[in-house]
Amino acid sequence: MGKDVIIACDFSSKEACLSFLDKFTERKPYVKIGMELFYAAGPEIVKEIKKRGHKIFLDLKLHDIPNTVKKSMSVLSGLDVDMTNLHAAGTISMMEAALEGLTREDGTRPLLIAVTQLTSTDQERMENDLLIKEPIDKVVMHYASNAAKAGLDGVVCSPLEAQKVHETCGEKFLTVTPGVRFADGDKGDQKRVMTPEQAKKIGSDYIVVGRPITAAEDPVAAYNRCVSEFVD
Ligand code: C5P
């Protein structure tokens, strides 16, 4: 599986996103479309970005009863995205149903990855709000194993967890890792960060990078720097 840099296009309108992508005239980056942009611009934005030659990770984090998730995944698969995701907390049956819905008639399908515990959930909130008393690392690995059992392709995780996920679920199980910052850059609200180079060394398969590229003075140069540190 090829390593790649995915740009988190966290924009609130179609125009803002497309004028940002217009800057990339040589290499067409892999683009992550999240809830904000999808809810603002709808499926049309997916079709437009796809038409421009980008790969798309549609980050909508589905979590519902298996039948609803299956049918929704079938719609997303029809949009010709390359990767999408759901919450592993929805259980193994929900993940299996999602895979079924995602698989097209010809047997092809987008990659499907699971969110384990959100990085905004810490041990205290997990214990008090969710009544899960196990250590959070164990919960993350358990959810990753469930995703592997259901036949998913990988998980979204911190780069710091990537190695352990590979040890637990196999080298081929994908790790898609946000929380990436340049060594000389601003961390913003991300707490546990790694540089693209460190993420490569530790075995991340894809890095998701937002503000270090989208808010850079020269986004194309920042993207190229990520690619040269992580891919080349
Ligand atoms: O701007 P920044 O590089 O922090 O963007 C990271 C992207 O990855 C955002 O779209 C954020 O929602 C997403 N993400 C994250 N941490 C997670 C899951 C997703 O930062 N655990």
pLDDT mean by block of 10 residues, the chain; 232 residues: 91 96 96 96 96 97 98 96 98 98 97 92 93 94 98 94 95 96 85 90 96 97 97 89
Q: Ligand 1: does its nearest atom lie under 6 Å from the Cβ of 142?
A: no
Q: Is 61 noted as a catalytic residue in this protein?
A: yes
CB 30 within 8 A of CB 5: yes
**89 contacts: CB under 8 Å, gap ≥ 6:** 63, 143
State which H helix or E strand residue 17 sits in: helix 14-21
Overall pTM > 0.85 = yes
Classify each residue of 45-75 as buried b or exposed e, where b means 16 or more C-beta atoms within 10 Å of its C-beta: bbeebbeeebbbbbbbbbebebeebbebbee
| Interval between CA 28 and ligand 1 midpoint (Å) | 20
Look at the domain 4-230 and name its fold.
TIM Barrel (3.20.20)
Which residue among the candidates 14, 50, 61, 164 is catalytic per the annotation? 61
Q: Ligand 1: does its nearest atom lie under 6 Å from the Cβ of 178?
A: yes
Closest ligand 1 atom number to CA of residue 8 = 10
The per-residue pLDDT for 57 is 98
Closest ligand 1 atom number to CA of residue 215 = 1
